[in-house]
Each structure stands twice: as structure tokens, then as C-alpha cells.
């Protein structure tokens, strides 16, 4: 039997690019609604070396959204 381990500090996302609004988005499923979302608010997700900031969530479909400008500056600072 093979074994696998859970990756720490990783989450499954869906990536979308919307050139009409000059943004790209990460979508995260939050099956437990706000209980899952409150763990993600004020967080930054890094995807392929790019930082995405919390944007909001849709309670009708239980999805949270993170956003960044396609060609603009990141709005993320490093805490030291």
C-alpha cells in the first residue's frame, strides 16, 4: 500500500484571469461557510510566485475569493 502526507500550509485553489477588469483571482471552496472563511480573512495566498489578497466570499456557493492586479504592483507588505 502507498502512503501520502498532508501538505502543510497549502490549500486547493482555482485560478481565473479576467483581462476585462485587469485582475486575476483565486477561488477557494469553503464548505463550512463563514467558519472556514474567518480562517482566511486578512491572509495572503501565494500562487506561482504571485501574492493574492483576500477579496470576499459568496455564501450562496460557499466560495472565498482572493485577487491581484494583472500588471499592477502588489499590495502586500512583509511583516518582520
In a domain, 3, yes or no: no
Domain count, the chain: 1
Confidence of residue 13 (pLDDT cuts 50, 70, 90): very high
String of DSSP letters for 19-80: GGGTEEEEEEE-TTTHHHHTTTTT-EEEETTEEEEEEEEETTTTEEEEEEESSS--------
Give me the domain span that covers residue 24: 14-69
Supply the pLDDT for residue 6.
77
Supply the pLDDT for residue 71.
85
In a domain, 60, yes or no: yes
In a domain, 8, yes or no: no
In a domain, 79, yes or no: no
Q: Parallel, antiparallel, or unpaired: how do β-strands 50-58 and 44-47 relate? A: antiparallel
Q: What is the pLDDT of residues 17-69, one digit of tens each?
A: 999 999 999 999 999 999 999 999 988 999 998 889 999 999 999 999 999 99
Task: Return d(Cα 22, Cα 34) in angstroms, integer.
Answer: 28
Amino acid at each position: 500500500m502507498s502512503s501520502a502526507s498532508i501538505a502543510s500550509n497549502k490549500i486547493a485553489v482555482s485560478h481565473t484571469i479576467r483581462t476585462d477588469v485587469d485582475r486575476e483571482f483565486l477561488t477557494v471552496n469553503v464548505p463550512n461557510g463563514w467558519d472556514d472563511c474567518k480562517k482566511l480573512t486578512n491572509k495572503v495566498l501565494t500562487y506561482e510566485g504571485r501574492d493574492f489578497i483576500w477579496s470576499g466570499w459568496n455564501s450562496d456557493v460557499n466560495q472565498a475569493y482572493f485577487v491581484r492586479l494583472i500588471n499592477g504592483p502588489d499590495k502586500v507588505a512583509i511583516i518582520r
